[in-house]
Amino acid sequence: MKRRLRIIVMFQLLIFLSVVWANAQEITISGKVTAMDNSFLPGVTITVVGTTRGVITDNDGSYTIMAKSDDKLVFSFIGMDTQIISVGNQKILNVQMKEKTEEMDEVTVVAFAKQKKESVLASITTVDVGDLKIPSSNLTTALAGRMSGLISYQRSGEPGQDDASFFVRGVTSFSYASSPLILIDGVEMSSSDLARLQPDDIASFSIMKDATATALYGARGANGVIMVTTREGREGKAQISFRYETSFSSPTKDIDLANAITYMKLNNEAIVTRDPANGVELYSMEKIEKTASGANPNVYPATNWYKALFKEVTINHRANFNVSGGGKVARYYIAGTFNQDNGALNVDSKNNFNNNIDLKRYLLRSNVNINITNTTEAVVRLHGTFDDYTGPIDGGSALYSKVMRTDPVLFPAYYEADEQYKYTSHILFGNSGTGNYINPYADMVKGYKEYSKSVMLAQFEVKQKLDFVAKGLFFRGLFSTNRYSYFDVSRYYNPFYYSIGLYDKYTDKYSLACLNPTGGTEYLTYDPGDKTVNTTTYLEGTLNYSTTIAEKHDVSGLLVSTMRNYLTGNAETLQLSLPQRNLGISGRFTYSYDKRYFTEFNFGYNGSERFAKKERFGFFPSAGVAWFASNEPFWKNNLQKVITKLKLKATYGLVGNDAIGSSADRFFYLSEVNLNNSSKGFTFGEDFAYTVNGVSISRYENDKISWETARKMNLGMELGLFDDLEIQADYYTEYRTNILMSRQYIPASMGLQATPQSNVGEASSRGLDVSLDYQHNFKNGTWLAARANFTYAKSKYEVYEDLDNTTTPWLSRIGKPISQQWGYVAERLFVDDTEVANSPTQTFGDYMGGDIKYKDINGDDQITSLDKVPIGYPTEPEIVYGFGFSTGYKNFDLSCFFQGLAREAFWINSTTTAPFVDTDGSSGIISKNALLNVYADNHWSEKNRDVHALWPRLSDHLIENNTVTSTWFMRDGSFLRLKSLEFGFSIPKKKVEDIGIKQLRIYFSGTNLFVLSKFKLWDPEMAGEGLGYPIQKVYNVGLQVSF
């Protein structure tokens, strides 16, 4: 076949040459070369094919050249597509040059390669990178609702700790790892690396969902893959762009606490109502009245700890700068980013250090492509992310929860110095007892922690065309190494605590008493903190082949081998110190006929060092078919006008996961023992001097443990309507087998020190991903783009080894979603103690009238763990959606995006919000929970026996009866929020062109501006963690310049 082709080509060449000989007269040809925007292009090279003759266009783009009528002219210019035009009989030849089109538009990034969009039959969603530009230094917070197939939510707003959680098509495993594989430029990275990526540096962002898309990543693909490629330089003159933003950030919602007077009154009520006989009111009427009247605030403090610690608004800065360009031989993309995120904490003027969170982040990226020969291209990518942080010792979230645990009326944050301490240079922090109460203000300002985090990445990639072996054959090799290092240091003093020593109420004079004269220090002490280092090395080789046979048969093949090695310097045990390795070969074979019928076969053959030799490798094949209906000949006429595109596709395959069990469970086939365990020995001898250590077993060996496997099926449709609207819809099912789980039936009488595990669990999921894209340009220059995404993912347990549930079927997990919670059904509050006595016994400690009454499910006249039933929606949302539009008219543009989630339940934490109770949990520190205003307004009391009140009978100690998981504190987590809103104005080109600026745009944007939800206590996206560092609402001003 090939030989015949060659003969044909030779023959045609002969004919062509004889024609050339026949027309040999030269004429003068002139014309103008313009760019797409009709501006004249100077410096364009025009040569005659086959000669060395050539000219260059003038400043106004005009040229003159001598050529024969059968000559061909080549127009070439850096950054533009080269054009070859036959002279013919024309004397004036005006040429319009097109900028080199970015291939991204036509191809999709698939595993280890790029494929033409039309031939992709895997389920892959790509996002417009522009959509990821939100005023946040954390990329992951931009993901929710932007892409169909991604479940995502954010629980905290603390700089540096605000990574959103995200799952591709939800979670189908109840084993250890459920997060997707993240690949940045082909290399596995962590979600925090993804969070720190700069949207400006991203060329493409896609998620791979079905087996065909992920089978090649057999080892880790089961949970889906997120794939990001960074930008590379393009041929052309240097393009410089610069972006700067300042944002104003404040909590989306403040926690509303009861005032000090209410606090004291209800605290008294809490004591007496629980123990009417012996309870003694804690606060005297005098204290309450004096506090209310605003008498001496040092003696009668009413501290608003939120105000004392936190600012209302904080200002952050972000700047990004990138240059790209290059010539025929080398191309470059260089970017630098600087972000500064500040926390919302106050700083005490008496300290000369800053304890507020100040996270500075520097990113540097350099991607250089070099054509070494005509067939060889080398790429060097260097990337560094450097975080410099200073912040409070405890971290921001801990301070928010400490505020919630502090008594507002026991002491102020600090005292004004009295006579005695007039010359004291340290801050006179308030406290009580022996200084063992929480004073969050002291904890905040007593010192600061610095950390430094660096990620360095170096990649070298070689692409070699192997046309000399066979046309269309292509080799690519990639070496990548990644170094991570982290350390922190803390410097702090031990606060001096004071309380009121003596107070004379007639003269209103008080004197302070130091509670810890020997415990406090004025000088700083130092804590060396953590040091974390690790390295990852990755090697990849691919061989690619593609060809077209007889114009209609497209065939391609791909073979990949990968090796990955991870080593940590912080292992706690010998076994954990050993390198983590993966090894794999994967392949893809595709065949398509006439761009109408497509088939594809993929496989991954992967090994993991975690398993015993015979279980080490897993084979994960997948296959798919697609029909491009709109490419059929019969489609051409009327149908084409309405349905511009229709593609149906189906895939099925297996994908594996070796990240099972906790990361501390490295080698399942080895037992883990400590043969010299000091916590298990015994001490003998008269003077207790002979101690012999014991032996402990933390894992029993099991050489049968192997890969978790997912069987994935995907049915997809791509539909284009009227050229404006594109719809992509996928329905999928997944069945996960071999999920590692602890064996539940092993009774205690077996005497095992560690529960054996086995690959016995099974789970399934199904769902729907839909995305709609609409794009239209109106005649008056207005343009409109709208986009909507919808993801529904529902999982369920299929096989779960459990205790015997024959008499209590409601306890069975089978058929229930994976993050389903079990709890008690709260009927209402008990009316009184008589009802308590006449109701089934509740076995969670003391309780009385006004406490929560639970339903006796199994009718045994007592409430025990057997009465737990599945309650509410799962804690992972089943639906995540987003919709928004962008529009522009002339120089103005406006875009907004709404995002929401649904079918999610969460629980108000009834322990950490239980007023007046010490829930700190650490011994030696006394805490006392603050009182939420909603509880103050709406609780059961003897005067108001509201059996449906929000909070049960008050108490000064924790009532376990009310803190067990139940429907009482369950809330609907669904919400819809205005995720982002942006308004931009571009300065008209004419005004800025003169100073060399291509584009100058000023924009105002906002994130999380409002939220619609049934839940009002705090931002519903924070779910149960509402007392932590709040999610931020951000107003932002930005400037975008490109040269």
Cα 264 to the chain's mean position, in Å? 43
Nearer to another protein, 143 or 583 (CB): 583
Q: Bridge partners of 228?
A: 184, 205
Nearer to another protein, 395 or 557 (CB): 557
Q: How far is the CB of 679 from another protein (least distance, A)?
A: 9
Token digits for 20? 């050339």
The rounded distance, in Å, linking the Cα atoms of 145 and 205 is: 14
Q: How far is the CB of 410 from another protein (least distance, A)?
A: 13
Nearer to another protein, 152 or 608 (CB): 608
Nearest one of 537, 378, 394, 386 to 460, comparing CA atoms: 378
Nearer to another protein, 936 or 958 (CB): 958
Q: Looking at 569-692, list the stretches that DSSP marks H as alpha helix, in order from N- to C-terminal side.
A: 574-577, 638-642
Q: What angle (nearest 5°) sits at the alpha carbon of residue 495, between those of residues 493 and 501?
A: 160
Mapping DSSP to helix (H, G, I), strand (E, B) and coil, where does residue 359 land? strand
Q: How far is the CB of 188 from another protein (least distance, A)?
A: 17
Establish how many alpha carbons lie within 13 A of residue 232's alpha carbon, considering only the half-sphere containing its beta carbon. Answer: 20
| Sign of the alpha-carbon dihedral angle for 134, 139, 140, 145 | positive
**What SS3 string covers 39-102?**
CECCCCEEEECCCCCEEECCCCCEEEEEEECCCEEEEECCCECCEEEECCCCCECCEECCECCC
Q: How far is the CB of 403 from another protein (least distance, A)?
A: 19
Note whether 574 and 599 are within 8 A (CB).
no
Nearer to another protein, 29 or 514 (CB): 514
Note whether 345 and 157 are within 8 A (CB).
no
Q: How far is the CB of 863 from another protein (least distance, A)?
A: 9
Nearer to another protein, 76 or 843 (CB): 843
Q: How far is the CB of 630 from another protein (least distance, A)?
A: 32
Q: How far is the CB of 464 from another protein (least distance, A)?
A: 13
The rounded distance, in Å, linking the Cα atoms of 808 and 870 is: 12
Please give the helix or strand (H or E) that residue 5 lies within, else none: helix 2-22
Nearer to another protein, 313 or 692 (CB): 692
Nearer to another protein, 351 or 698 (CB): 698
Q: How far is the CB of 688 from another protein (least distance, A)?
A: 6
Q: How far is the CB of 515 from another protein (least distance, A)?
A: 11
Token digits for 519? 């415990």
Note whether 442 and 426 are within 8 A (CB).
no
Q: What is the dihedral of CA 303, 305, 307, 312, to 10 degrees?
A: -170
Q: How far is the CB of 748 from another protein (least distance, A)?
A: 4
Residue positions counted in the chain: 1043
Q: How far is the CB of 302 from another protein (least distance, A)?
A: 23
Nearer to another protein, 462 or 866 (CB): 866
Q: How far is the CB of 687 from another protein (least distance, A)?
A: 7
Nearer to another protein, 13 or 814 (CB): 814
Mapping DSSP to helix (H, G, I), strand (E, B) and coil, where does residue 124 land? strand
Nearest one of 713, 562, 647, 595 to 211, comparing CA atoms: 713
**What SS3 string covers 724-752?**
CEEEEEEEEEEEEEEEEEECCCCCHHHCC
Q: How far is the CB of 657 from another protein (least distance, A)?
A: 17
The rounded distance, in Å, linking the Cα atoms of 509 and 775 is: 74
Nearer to another protein, 163 or 867 (CB): 867
Residues 6 or more apart whose Cβ sits within 8 Å of residue 373: none
Nearer to another protein, 5 or 746 (CB): 746
Helix 285-292 with 260-274: angle, nearest 10 deg: 160
The rounded distance, in Å, linking the Cα atoms of 545 and 560 is: 12
Q: How far is the CB of 719 from another protein (least distance, A)?
A: 37
Nearer to another protein, 316 or 499 (CB): 499
Q: How far is the CB of 477 from another protein (least distance, A)?
A: 11
Nearest one of 816, 650, 817, 620 to 731, comparing CA atoms: 650
Q: How far is the CB of 725 from another protein (least distance, A)?
A: 43
The rounded distance, in Å, linking the Cα atoms of 537 and 917 is: 51
Nearer to another protein, 602 or 1005 (CB): 602
Q: What is the dihedral of CA 647, 650, 654, 655, to 10 degrees?
A: 30
DSSP 753: S
One DSSP character per residue, 283-320 reads S-HHHHHHHHTT--TTTS----HHHHHB-S-EEEEEEE
The rounded distance, in Å, linking the Cα atoms of 395 and 456 is: 25
The rounded distance, in Å, linking the Cα atoms of 150 and 792 is: 9
Token digits for 537? 């090395």
Q: How far is the CB of 513 from another protein (least distance, A)?
A: 13
Note whether 1009 and 381 are within 8 A (CB).
no
Nearest one of 764, 822, 761 to 793, comparing CA atoms: 764
Q: How far is the CB of 556 from another protein (least distance, A)?
A: 12
Token digits for 496? 């001096």
Nearer to another protein, 805 or 891 (CB): 805
358-381 burial, b if ≥16 CB within 10 A, otherwise e?
bbebebebbbbbebeeeeebbbeb
Nearer to another protein, 707 or 873 (CB): 707
Token digits for 217? 């990543």
Nearer to another protein, 130 or 694 (CB): 694
Nearer to another protein, 12 or 577 (CB): 577
